């Protein structure tokens, strides 16, 4: 493959790139047919790709050749059709990774730029194969780069070009896998810490509608991925559950801060309220969590695989306490309003914790939870969740093994503890006649997973 | 045509735009993925994929816009494509302008609506999401603008890049460029909020790349966003300067342009220069702010400084001062804006900070900065005097004696300023002298060579020569040396006019010889390159006097200074003759040319001034030639001053400084008069005449012991002298015609010694003035008259054989005195012939004679004057009428006197004695007759009459004719030989008989009457 360099050099930028793509296609086909395991593109070819497609400067002496934007567009178009027309999945995947797998060199920047444009175009033109390839790429790649890709897409479709949102909306039907990964990346990107890191409204609406339409979308990646255990370090989470939970919990406080800034700035835009959106999202998250026991059981992973990481929760808790401190400091005037919002955040956290624990998404003891949540202000529901099922202690006198960290290592022990939660469901609904109790918000709380 | 076009391309046609965008919007939603991929294929290939035909430019552009709206990833390519569309439109536009044909306007019109569409889409995008689009579009627009303007700069219709306004007009009338400009403005407005540095950086970069064709863009943008652009441009420039300045330490020195090495600073200067036209105020504020900020102690956590501002970086702070200097050096506009207020800012605390800052800079760089600063100061068009004062104030060493307006500055600061000032002087010196050399060369080559190099600093200081001189004259150590040097430079630079002004100011303002010496030093320096400086300076001083711009004190000082200058000549003559003497001579001759201008000052109301004037005049040489009118005026003034001085001397008394001054004034006046009288016959005549007239004037009579009584024997007009009825009508007077005719002197005249029945007229007794003062005055007057008369102006000068011996009285001068006396004492010309009638005929002239006698009574000074006249033989002949009249009244008195002794009527006795002795001195009488007065006091009135009668008879017999006098060359005098006259013995008989009668008392006198 390396011998074609001499023939590529005299050509102009675009045709050289086209030629190389053509040769790459043939080369990979041959590679796959030869059946060598694992099919690996050699470094010579990588260098060619970097030189003629990504136009990374080969060395200091030769100035990098650059494509004009129109040439680049042509190349992208050719790539699109190339991936589209490739019938064999393996070849396509190999080709994609030959082009876009990060190599840790200076070509990565142009690689990311090209990838962003390619995926963006694929979304516009509905090129499913490319999206599938991109989904795999997102799974393999370090989360920093995934976040960058997501950022490019969000910029393109949610801020740059007005009215292009619906195009992005379509990825849900075009490639659920990509969609799921996209959500994960987006929730990782937007952690609601600053104004820049708050998701655009359009994106939020999109995600809520996706999950409402099909809660299993969130888990699709988890379902389709064989848990090989060779998940690359610091890649994206398998599911966006942690990120979504963070959104829901922090939203009341984060958006209130935004609103306050908007008010002080004197701009009173009548944006649609995000509150209901996050409520719906929260509900969907809880529903998804409740789907988990069946799936985990099917896979035989209940109590063994924590879809929600403890570190994630810890950071959420500390973020939340910081936000609440800030809220206390800055809003003395509208204290009533702010207290309601703070309580809402705490309650969402409590609900999510309880449901996650109950459905095996979170594997920890209540003792751990208490340490994590020790800095949070008082909330009745949270208090209740942290203190655990009192009835259980009274009646059975055995510690809740299922939530001990030891349980995570003994899959067999988790099964008998599962029904231990059954006394709880009756708890909130048993006193509907006492509206004064703050933790009984009157909301029906379906603890029992719908089998 | 152009107008119509521009009108049709108004880009803010919002309804159209809205329609367009809504149209495309709806279109976009309808596009499926399939259609989109068709679209992109069409866009890439330029061929309609459905119909298989080539797309027109217009359709292609539409397609691009559709993609821009629907496929975000395409934006780069679309914008790139649109560059071509814009370019095409500009080409067509210019082509249209060049051909001026209406036919092809359709093409550009087509493209215009596309451009409008694109603009609509872009501005909508920017409006909806400025953060995403503004950087993108601004970069694109600026780059494209730069490309378009430099690409089409060479077109025939494109105006030259230097004519910014025409360029602006042309490009703003082109739809494409205007659209780009508007888009960029929109972006900038959006971006200023959050990343102003970036967009200004891009602007500057492009400006550098496409300069000067891009300047119109910067100008337009700058005037749209002055407030922010200015500070940003400065900040960018500073950063760039810092980055480049670190590499090459050599700053720009002495105007050598280093702009190519610091690329951005050129643009910064250009932009600010353009903005300075309308926003100089904000630019000044910004520059000064930068200066202050850079000096104020760094506070890392200052709340005001934003994260991107330069204040937070110590390196940038250090570079700020050099940067500002550099800016100022490159743009006179900016420098002019700042320089005025900068000096105000430089208070001691700021100076300390500045010093602290500059200490951190390497020596070489510091020298360069100093050079730059010096260069700037020398080029500063305004505020130079303030700068100079600041420098001098600061650089003047602290002293116990002199406390300046500012408290003594830090020693280091002072040294710095000292150094700066010295370098400035050196630099100016070089400039001034190189300049004049160059000018000479030029003048040799051609008359129409380029004008001499202007040094704005000196140019401006020219208006402040007066203040500079005043400062210099304060003689503070060091400071006056600097200033004096500067004055020299200024004079050389400004040419004769400034030099004259400076010299004139020094002459006016100096208060003592040391200060005056500065003027001579200045002159010495300048005399080598300038001629006729002193005459010009004196002429200028005279002009000042004429315009009354000087107060009395200054005027006095000026006159005294000039006098001192002239007098130094005499001193120098005695001592070693130096440069100064030649200069003193020059001053003298210059002053002598303006004597008539100084003359009126003798009569200045302020005695100090008149005193100064007389000092000046008395010591200044007299001009070679002068017009009679001037001379007469001057003599009149001098004589008047003389009497004024006498009066003043009498008034101030004998003690104190005033007395000394008054005495000196009189002396000066005497000196002046005598010198003046010696100048020419005309002046001699005038002076003498006026002196005598003045002495006899009513107002001055008291000076010489005169009584201002009703001295005229003539009938006064019937209107009472102190009549309140000043407005007496002419009719009244005419009705009393007969009484108003003056019959005096005729037989019909009437005595007015009183009214019958009321006794004699009462003589008003005025208190006699101080006799010693009178004596002194008379002496002074006589001294003047004698000096005037004896000065060798008239006849051939004969140096006296002995220096001690007084010069003989000049006959002509004496004649002038005589004639004047006659004119004043004897009002009637009738019977005015020299020869005497018989004594009896005296009755016909009684009235006149009485008048003459009264005159002598009223003016005792007349006798001494007569004596002077007598000394100048034969002048006394001309006084014949007066003598005759006086003698006649005396005869009448002695005849009618019933006293026992002549001493009983003392005045008449004295008058008789004086008269006879005078006539003897004047050789109207032979010695025998002249001696008779010695006997008068011992005789009776009758006997006196007898003797006087003998005198009369002699004169009648031997008329007092000047022609009887012969000039004797050995004596130098005219003498009369009495032997030619008839026998004297005839007249001596009465004398002898009187002698005989009184031989007991007159025995000792007998020998006096021997023939």
CB B274 within 8 A of CB B218: yes
Considering only alpha carbons, which residue of chain B is nearest residue A120? B73
CA atoms of A211 and A201, how far apart (whole Å): 15
DSSP state of B1008: G
| E-assigned strand segments in B150-210 | none
Check residue B752 and give its pLDDT: 56
| Residue B542 forms part of a structural domain | yes
DSSP string, A209-221: HHHHH-GGGGGHH
Task: Give me A353's structure tokens.
Answer: 């914790």
Query: How many angstroms separate the CA atoms of B202 and B190, rounded?
Result: 15
Asked if residues A80 and A130 have their Cβ atoms less than 8 Å apart, the reply is yes
Q: What pLDDT does B608 receive?
A: 82
Comparison of pLDDT for A340 and B164, the residue scoring more: A340
**pLDDT attached to residue A406:** 43
- Residue A149: pLDDT band (50, 70, 90) is very high
Structure tokens at A433: 């006649």
Strands annotated E in A280-410? none
Judged by CB atoms closer than 8 Å, whether chains meet at A121 and B129 is answered as no
Q: Which pLDDT score is estimated for B548?
A: 80
Q: Which of A33, A45, A121 is nearest to A84 (CA)?
A: A121
Count of the separate structural domains present in chain B:
3
pLDDT at B248: 44
Residues with Cβ within 8 Å of B506's Cβ and at least 6 positions away in sequence, in order, are B469, B472, B473, B515, B516, B518, B519, B522
Asked if B535 contacts B590 with a C-beta cutoff of 8 angstroms, the reply is: yes
Q: Is the dihedral of CA B867, B870, B872, B876 positive or negative?
A: positive
Burial of B1011 from C-beta contacts in 10 A (0-12 / 13-18 / 19+): exposed
Among the ranges given (A168-182, A218-232, B410-424), the one the predictor scored with the smallest mean pLDDT = A218-232
Residue B478: how many other CB atoms lie within 10 Å = 14
Cβ atoms of A221 and A238 closer than 8 Å: yes
DSSP lists the bridge partners of residue B478 as none
Q: With CA atoms as reference, report the closest residue to B864 among B762, B779, B932.
A: B779
Q: Which residue has the higher pLDDT, A222 or B1011?
A: A222
CA distance A413 to A248: 32
What does the mean pLDDT of chain A come to? 77
Give one DSSP letter per residue of A221-282, joined into a string. HHHHS---S-PPTTB--SSSHHHHHHHHHHHHHHHHHHHHHHHHHT----PPPSHHHHHHHH
- How far, rounded to the nearest angstrom, does the alpha carbon of residue B20 sit from its chain's CA centroid? 74
Q: Do B392 and B479 touch, CB atoms closer than 8 A?
A: yes
SS3 for B744-775 is: CCCCCCCCCCECCCCCECCCCCCCCCCHHHHH
Tell me, yes or no, if A197 comes closer than 8 A to chain B by beta carbon. Answer: no
pLDDT for residue A27 is more than 80: yes
Interface check for A156 against chain B (CB to CB < 8 A): the answer is yes
Work out the angle at residue B501's Cα, subtended by the Cα atoms of residues B499 and B504, and round it to the nearest 5 degrees.
Answer: 105
Last residue of a domain, one of B154, B180, B206: B206
Cβ neighbours, 10 Å, residue A267: 8
Which residues of B fall within a CB distance of 8 Å from A161?
68-72, 75, 125
CB neighbour list of residue B480: distance below 8 Å, 6 or more residues apart = B471, B472, B473, B474, B518
Q: In chain B, which residues have their Cβ closer than 8 Å to the Cβ of A76?
A: 73
Given this model, what pLDDT does residue A178 score?
92
The C-alpha atoms of residue B530 and residue B532 are separated, in whole angstroms, by 7
Q: Could you report how far apart the first and last alpha carbons of chain B are, in Å? A: 131
Give contacts of A69 with chain B, Cβ < 8 Å: 76-77, 79-80
Give the pLDDT mean for A51-56. Answer: 82
d(CA B179, CA B123): 10
Block means of pLDDT (10 residues each) for chain B, length 1011 residues?
41 40 43 81 83 83 86 86 88 82 52 85 86 84 86 76 74 86 86 74 76 76 76 77 57 40 65 73 79 67 45 70 78 72 74 76 80 80 75 68 52 79 84 63 42 71 78 74 81 80 82 79 77 81 82 83 77 54 75 80 81 83 79 86 85 71 84 83 86 83 70 39 52 59 49 63 61 85 85 48 62 86 77 78 81 86 89 86 89 88 89 91 86 88 89 86 82 78 81 88 84 71
Expressed as residue numbers, the domain containing B114 is 1-206
User: For position B389, what pLDDT does the model report?
Assistant: 77
Nearest to A69 among B28, B72, B77 (CB): B77
- Distance between CA B540 and CA B535 in Å, rounded? 8
SS3 string, B968-988, reads ECCCCEEEECHHHCCCCHHHH
- Only one residue has tokens 């003035």, namely B769
Instruction: Please tell me whether residue B965 adopts helix, strand or coil conformation.
Output: strand
Determine the Cα–Cα distance for residues A277 and A8; give it in Å rounded to an integer.
Answer: 54
Give B976's strand partners: B965
Q: Which residues of chain A are within 8 Å of residue B37 when distances are taken between CB atoms? A: 80, 125
Residue B306 covered by a domain: no
Q: For the complex shown, is ipTM > 0.90?
A: no
Q: B711 and B858 in contact (C-beta within 8 Å)? A: yes
Specify the pLDDT at position B726: 52
Instruction: Flag whether residue A160 sits within 8 Å of chain B, measured between CB atoms.
Output: yes
Does residue B265 lie within any of the structural domains?
Answer: no
Name the strand (E) or helix (H) holding B967: strand B965-968
Q: Give the three-state DSSP class for B966.
A: strand
Question: What local confidence, expressed as pLDDT, does residue A414 receive?
Answer: 39
Q: What are phi and psi of B967, to 5 degrees?
A: -80, 125
Is A76 in Cβ contact with B132 (below 8 Å)? Answer: no
Asked whether residue B75 is domain-assigned, the answer is yes
Q: Is B41 in contact with A157 (Cβ distance < 8 A)?
A: no
Q: Hey, are the CB atoms on B77 and A72 less than 8 Å from each other?
A: yes
Helices and strands counted in chain A (H then E): 23, 0
Q: Which of A68, A77, A160 sits opposite B72 (nearest CB)?
A: A160
Distance CA B928, CA B987 (A): 10
Return d(Cα A291, Cα B35) in angstroms, integer: 40
Among candidate residues B548, B564, B597, the one where a domain is terminated: B597
Q: Output the six-digit token pair for A5.
A: 């360099």
Nearest-CB residue to A160 (from B25, B44, B132): B132
d(CA B78, CA B133): 14
Nearest to B529 by CA among B486, B481, B496: B496
DSSP-assigned letters across all residues of A50-106 = HHHTS----SSSSPPP---HHHHHHHHHHHHHHHHH---HHHHHHHHHHHHS--SST
B126: in domain: yes
Characterise B817 by phi-psi region: left (phi > 0), alpha (psi -120 to 50), beta (else).
Answer: alpha
Checking if the pLDDT of A439 tops 70, the result is no
Please tell me the pTM assigned to this model: 0.56
Quickly tell me which residue has 């009183």 as its tokens. Answer: B754
Q: Does A265 lie at the interface with B, CB-CB under 8 angstroms? A: no
Integer CA distances (angstroms), A316 to A195, A310, A322, B262, B296, in order:
17, 10, 10, 52, 44
The pLDDT, as a whole number, for residue A180 is 92
Q: How many CB atoms lie within 10 A of CB B727?
A: 6
A381 in Cβ contact with A439 (< 8 Å): yes
Q: What is the mean pLDDT of residues A330-336?
A: 63
- A chain contacts of residue B77, beta-carbon cutoff 8 Å: 69-70, 72-73
Q: How far from the centroid of its chain's Cα atoms is residue B495's Cα?
A: 16
Q: Which residue has the higher pLDDT, A406 or B983?
A: B983
Q: Does A76 touch chain B (CB under 8 A)?
A: yes
**What pLDDT was estimated at residue A179?**
92
The 8-class DSSP code of residue B621 comes to P
CA atoms of B643 and B706, how far apart (whole Å): 14
Count of Cβ atoms closer than 10 Å to residue B155 Cβ: 15
Residue of B nearest to A115 (CA): B73
Interchain CB distance below 8 Å, B80 and A126: no
- Provide the shortest C-alpha distance from residue B125 to chain A (in Å): 7
DSSP state of B902: G
First to last CA, chain A: 56
Answer whether residue B864 is part of any domain. yes
Instruction: Answer whether residue A23 shows pLDDT above 80.
Output: yes
Cα–Cα distance for residue pair A114/A121, rounded to 1 Å: 10
Residue linked to tokens 């950071």: A315
**In Å, how far from its chain's centre is CA A222?**
12
Q: Give the number of other CB atoms < 10 A from CB of residue B438.
A: 14
Residue B266 lies inside a defined structural domain of this protein: no
pLDDT digits (tens, 9 = 90+) for A75-105: 898 888 888 888 888 889 888 988 888 888 8
Which one is predicted more confidently, A59 or A27? A27
Cα-Cα-Cα-Cα dihedral sign, residues A18, A20, A26, A29: negative
- What is the bridge-based pairing of β-strands B965-968 and B973-976? antiparallel
Any residues with CB less than 8 A from the CB of B560 and at least 6 apart, and which?
A: B612, B615, B616
Alpha-carbon gap: A87 to the closest alpha carbon of chain B (Å)? 19
The residue out of B575, B597, B619 marking a domain boundary is B597
């Amino acid at each position: 493959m390396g011998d074609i360099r001499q023939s590529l050099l005299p050509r102009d930028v675009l045709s050289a790139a086209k030629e190389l793509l053509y040769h790459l296609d043939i080369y990979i086909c041959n590679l796959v047919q030869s059946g060598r395991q694992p099919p690996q593109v050699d470094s010579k070819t990588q260098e060619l790709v970097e030189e003629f497609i990504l136009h990374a400067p080969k060395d200091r002496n030769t100035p990098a050749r650059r494509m004009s934007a129109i040439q680049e567009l042509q190349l992208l178009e050719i790539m699109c059709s190339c991936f589209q027309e490739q019938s064999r999945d393996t070849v396509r995947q190999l080709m994609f990774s030959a082009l876009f797998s990060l190599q840790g060199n200076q070509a990565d920047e142009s690689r990311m730029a090209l990838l962003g444009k390619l995926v963006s175009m694929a979304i516009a033109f509905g090129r499913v194969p490319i999206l599938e390839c991109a989904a795999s790429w997102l799974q393999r790649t370090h989360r920093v780069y995934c976040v960058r890709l997501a950022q490019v897409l969000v910029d393109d479709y949610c801020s740059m070009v007005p009215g292009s949102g619906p195009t992005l909306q379509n990825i849900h039907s075009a490639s659920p896998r990509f969609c799921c990964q996209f959500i994960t990346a987006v929730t990782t990107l937007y952690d609601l810490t600053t104004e820049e890191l708050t998701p655009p409204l359009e994106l939020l609406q999109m995600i809520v509608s996706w999950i409402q339409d099909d809660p299993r979308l969130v888990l699709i990646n988890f379902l389709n991925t064989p848990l090989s255990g060779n998940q690359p370090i610091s890649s994206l989470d398998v599911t966006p559950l942690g990120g979504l939970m963070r959104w829901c919990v922090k939203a009341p406080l984060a958006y209130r801060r935004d609103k306050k800034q908007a008010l002080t700035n004197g701009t009173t835009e009548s944006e649609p309220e995000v509150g209901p959106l996050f409520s719906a999202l929260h509900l969907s998250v809880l529903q998804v969590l409740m789907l988990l026991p069946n799936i985990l059981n099917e896979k035989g992973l209940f109590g063994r695989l924590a879809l929600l990481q403890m570190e994630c929760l810890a950071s959420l808790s500390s973020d939340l306490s910081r936000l609440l401190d800030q809220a206390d400091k800055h809003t003395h005037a509208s204290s009533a309003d702010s207290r309601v919002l703070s309580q809402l955040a705490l309650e969402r956290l409590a609900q999510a914790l309880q449901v996650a624990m109950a459905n095996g998404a979170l594997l920890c003891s209540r003792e751990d939870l208490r340490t994590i949540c020790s800095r949070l202000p008082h909330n009745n529901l949270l208090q209740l969740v942290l203190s655990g099922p009192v009835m259980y202690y009274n009646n059975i006198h055995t510690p809740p093994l299922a939530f001990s960290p030891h349980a995570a290592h003994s899959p067999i022990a988790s099964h008998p503890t599962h029904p231990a939660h059954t006394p709880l469901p009756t708890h909130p609904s048993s006193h509907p006649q006492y509206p004064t109790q703050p933790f009984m918000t009157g909301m029906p709380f379906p603890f029992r997973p719908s089998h | 045509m152009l107008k119509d076009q521009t009108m049709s391309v108004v880009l803010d046609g919002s309804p159209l735009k809205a329609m367009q965008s809504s149209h495309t919007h709806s279109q976009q939603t309808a596009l499926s993925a399939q259609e989109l991929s068709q679209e992109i294929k069409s866009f890439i290939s330029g061929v309609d994929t459905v119909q298989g035909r080539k797309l027109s430019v217009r359709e292609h552009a539409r397609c691009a816009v559709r993609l821009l709206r629907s496929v975000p990833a395409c934006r780069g390519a679309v914008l790139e494509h649109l560059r071509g569309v814009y370019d095409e439109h500009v080409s067509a536009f210019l082509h249209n302008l060049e051909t001026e044909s209406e036919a092809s306007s359709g093409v550009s019109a087509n493209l215009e609506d596309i451009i409008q569409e694109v603009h609509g889409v872009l501005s909508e995008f920017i409006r909806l999401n400025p953060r995403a689009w503004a950087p993108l579009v601004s970069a694109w627009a600026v780059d494209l603008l730069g490309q378009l303007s430099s690409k089409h700069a060479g077109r025939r219709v494109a105006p030259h890049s230097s004519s910014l306004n025409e360029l602006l007009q042309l490009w703003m009338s082109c739809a494409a460029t205007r659209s780009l400009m508007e888009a960029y403005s929109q972006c900038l407005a959006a971006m200023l909020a959050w990343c102003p540095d970036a967009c200004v950086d891009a602007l500057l970069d492009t400006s550098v790349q496409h300069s000067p064709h891009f300047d119109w863009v910067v100008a337009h943008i700058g005037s749209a966003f002055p407030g922010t652009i200015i500070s940003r441009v400065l900040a960018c420039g500073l950063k760039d300067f810092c980055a480049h300045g670190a590499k090459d330490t050599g700053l720009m020195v002495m105007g050598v342009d280093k702009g190519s090495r610091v690329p951005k600073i050129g643009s910064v200067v250009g932009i600010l220069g353009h903005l300075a036209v309308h926003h100089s105020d904000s630019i000044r504020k910004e520059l000064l702010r930068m200066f202050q900020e850079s000096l104020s102690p760094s506070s890392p956590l200052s709340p005001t400084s934003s994260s991107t501002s330069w204040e937070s970086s110590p390196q940038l702070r250090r570079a700020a001062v050099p940067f500002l200097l550099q800016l100022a050096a490159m743009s006179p506009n900016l420098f002019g804006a700042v320089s005025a207020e900068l000096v105000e800012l430089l208070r001691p605390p700021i100076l300390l900070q500045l010093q602290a800052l500059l200490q951190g800079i390497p020596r070489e760089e510091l020298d360069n900065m100093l050079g730059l600063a010096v260069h700037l100061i020398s080029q500063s068009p305004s505020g130079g005097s303030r700068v100079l004062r600041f420098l001098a104030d600061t650089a003047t060493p602290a002293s116990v004696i002199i406390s300046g307006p500012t408290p003594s500055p830090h020693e280091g600061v002072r040294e710095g300023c000292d150094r700066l000032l010295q370098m400035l002087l050196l630099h100016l010196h070089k400039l001034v002298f190189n300049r004049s050399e160059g000018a000479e060369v030029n003048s040799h080559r051609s008359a129409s060579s380029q004008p001499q190099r202007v040094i704005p600093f000196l140019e401006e200081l020219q208006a402040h020569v007066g203040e500079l001189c005043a400062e210099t004259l304060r003689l503070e150590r060091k400071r006056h040396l600097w200033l004096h040097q500067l004055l020299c430079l200024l004079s050389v630079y400004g040419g004769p006019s400034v030099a004259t002004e400076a010299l004139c100011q020094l002459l006016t303002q100096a208060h003592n010889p040391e200060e005056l010496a500065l003027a001579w030093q200045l002159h010495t320096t300048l005399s080598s390159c300038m001629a006729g400086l002193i005459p010009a300076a004196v002429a200028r001083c005279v002009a000042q006097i004429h315009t009354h711009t000087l107060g009395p004190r200054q005027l006095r000082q000026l006159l005294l200074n000039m006098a001192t200058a002239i007098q130094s000549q005499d001193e120098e003559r005695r001592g070693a003759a130096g440069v100064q003497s030649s200069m003193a001579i020059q001053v003298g001759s210059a002053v002598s040319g303006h004597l008539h201008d100084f003359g009126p000052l003798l009569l200045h109301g302020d005695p100090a001034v008149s005193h100064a004037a007389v000092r000046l005049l008395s010591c200044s040489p007299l001009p070679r030639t002068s017009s009679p009118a001037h001379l007469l005026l001057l003599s009149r003034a001098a004589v008047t001053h003389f009497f004024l001085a006498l009066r003043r001397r009498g008034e101030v008394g004998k003690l104190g400084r005033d007395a000394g001054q008054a005495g000196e004034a009189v002396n000066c006046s005497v000196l002046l008069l005598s010198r003046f009288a010696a100048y020419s016959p005309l002046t001699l005549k005038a002076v003498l005449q006026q002196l005598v007239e003045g002495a006899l004037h009513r107002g001055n009579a008291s000076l010489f012991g005169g009584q201002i009584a009703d001295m005229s024997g003539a009938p006064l007009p019937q209107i009472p002298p102190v009549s309140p009825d000043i407005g007496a009508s002419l009719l009244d007077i005419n009705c009393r015609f007969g009484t108003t005719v003056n019959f005096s002197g005729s037989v019909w005249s009437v005595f007015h010694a009183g009214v019958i029945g009321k006794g004699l007229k009462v003589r008003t007794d005025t208190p006699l003035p101080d006799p010693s003062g009178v004596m002194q005055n008379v002496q002074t007057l006589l001294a003047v008259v004698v000096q005037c008369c004896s000065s060798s102006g008239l006849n051939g000068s004969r140096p006296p054989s002995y220096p001690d011996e007084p010069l003989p009285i000049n006959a002509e001068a004496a004649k002038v005195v005589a004639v004047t006396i006659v004119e004043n004492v004897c009002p009637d010309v009738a019977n005015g012939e020299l020869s005497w009638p018989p004594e009896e005929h005296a009755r016909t002239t009684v009235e006149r004679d009485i008048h003459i006698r009264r005159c002598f009574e009223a003016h005792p000074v007349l006798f001494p004057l007569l004596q002077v006249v007598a000394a100048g033989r034969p002048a006394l002949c001309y006084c014949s009428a007066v003598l005759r009249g006086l003698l006649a009244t005396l005869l009448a008195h002695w005849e009618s006197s019933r006293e026992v002794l002549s001493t009983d009527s003392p005045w008449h006795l004295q008058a008789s004695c004086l008269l006879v002795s005078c006539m003897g001195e004047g050789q109207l009488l032979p010695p025998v007759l002249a001696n008779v007065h010695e006997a008068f006091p011992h005789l009776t009135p009758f006997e006196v009459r007898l003797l006087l009668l003998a005198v009369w008879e002699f004169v009648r017999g031997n008329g007092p004719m000047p022609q009887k006098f012969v000039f004797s060359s050995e004596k130098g005098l005219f003498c009369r030989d009495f032997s030619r006259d008839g026998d004297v013995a005839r007249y001596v008989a009465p004398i002898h008989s009187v002698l005989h009668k009184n031989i007991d008392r007159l025995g000792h006198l007998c020998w006096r009457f021997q023939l």
